[in-house]
């Protein structure tokens, strides 16, 4: 677009030379011309892209196609969550094994009836870390205030602490304590929504347990599905997020099968 006034001057130069006009008066003219051209240039620049598109419709079509494709891809990857979790598979996640002391309040040391399911929980204690929750469970042998524990705790930064072996009962899921593995999940605030790091680790841990114990997505349940308790809160209040989570776990499992 900036080329047009120059080439215009170029023509004038040629014309004026042919007509034998002196260079000095020409450059004076050119300066005047440039001054008078300035506002034009601006308005031309303003509408430049429109006229450019008129001149090159295929470029316009190309740009439009690119914009549409980019938007569609963005919407697809957000909606399915596949874009962000594409690299999560069902391999064994890094586990920080800190088994609780065997005690009647959090680790009875009773062998389970096998693993028929994975039960997801949330700590209901915003901002608490995996380590704090693990230490709380272990401290119940002294405080004796309640019976509670879980096989695993996923922390705010995606760290995973194992508190009870998978073949032993933990006190988390009521009547399903004897035939499931439980996962307590930390969350930063009252909404109960997990951080991205926590979510990733939870997907991988659940997928790994599904492969290890030959479970299907129907065997992945919420505490809510056992007792009706609002736990894990975010997955109970957002059914779509719960379905997305199971889809992410299924994707991760599939990666290890094929
Ligand atoms: Zn629960």
pLDDT band at 33, cuts 50/70/90? very low
Distances in whole angstroms, Cα of residue 142 to Cα of each of 30, 108, 138, 139, 197: 94, 14, 8, 6, 32
Question: How high is the pLDDT of residue 64?
Answer: 77
Cα(133) to centroid of ligand 1, in Å?
Answer: 13
Mention every residue, 6+ apart, whose C-beta is less than 8 A from residue 98.
134, 161, 162, 163
pLDDT over 80 (residue 63): no
- Residue 168 tokens, joined: 């032993």
Cα(126) to centroid of ligand 1, in Å?
Answer: 14
Average pLDDT of the segment spanning 178-207: 98
Cα(18) to centroid of ligand 1, in Å?
Answer: 92
d(CA 136, CA 149): 9
Average pLDDT of the segment spanning 239-246: 97
Cα(159) to centroid of ligand 1, in Å?
Answer: 19
How large is the C-alpha radius of gyration of the chain?
A: 33
Cα(83) to centroid of ligand 1, in Å?
Answer: 29
| Selected residue with higher pLDDT from 157 and 62 | 157
Beta strand extents in 144-179 (DSSP E only): 152-154, 160-162
Give tens-digit pLDDT for 78-105. Answer: 444 444 576 899 999 999 999 999 999 9
pTM over 0.85: no
Give tens-digit pLDDT for 101-121. Answer: 999 999 999 999 999 999 999
* Domains of the chain, each with CATH number or no CATH: 3-80 (no CATH), 96-257 (3.40.80.10)
d(CA 95, CA 101): 18
């Amino acid at each position: 677009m900036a080329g047009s006034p120059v080439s215009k001057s170029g023509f004038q130069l040629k014309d004026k030379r042919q007509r034998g006009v002196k260079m000095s008066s020409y450059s004076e003219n050119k300066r005047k011309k440039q001054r008078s051209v300035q506002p034009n240039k601006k308005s031309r620049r303003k509408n430049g892209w429109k006229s450019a598109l008129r001149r090159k419709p295929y470029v316009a079509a190309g740009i439009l196609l690119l914009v549409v494709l980019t938007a569609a891809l963005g919407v697809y990857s957000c909606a399915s969550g596949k874009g962000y979790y594409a690299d999560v598979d069902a391999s064994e996640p890094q586990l920080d094994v800190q088994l609780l002391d065997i005690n009647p309040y959090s680790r009875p040391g009773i062998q389970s009836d096998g693993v028929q399911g994975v039960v997801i929980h949330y700590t209901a204690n915003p901002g608490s870390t995996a380590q704090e929750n693990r230490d709380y469970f272990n401290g119940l042998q002294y405080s004796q205030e309640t019976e509670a524990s879980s096989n695993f705790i996923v922390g705010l930064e995606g760290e995973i602490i194992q508190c009870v072996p998978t073949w032993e009962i933990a006190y988390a899921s009521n009547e399903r304590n004897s035939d499931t593995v439980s996962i307590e999940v930390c969350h930063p605030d009252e909404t109960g929504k997990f951080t991205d790091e926590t979510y990733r680790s939870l997907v991988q841990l659940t997928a790994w347990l599904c492969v290890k114990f030959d479970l299907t997505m129907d065997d992945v349940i919420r505490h809510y599905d056992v007792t009706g308790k609002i736990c894990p809160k975010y997955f109970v209040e957002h059914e779509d997020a719960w379905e997305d989570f199971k889809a992410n776990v299924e994707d991760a499992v599939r990666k290890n099968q094929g």
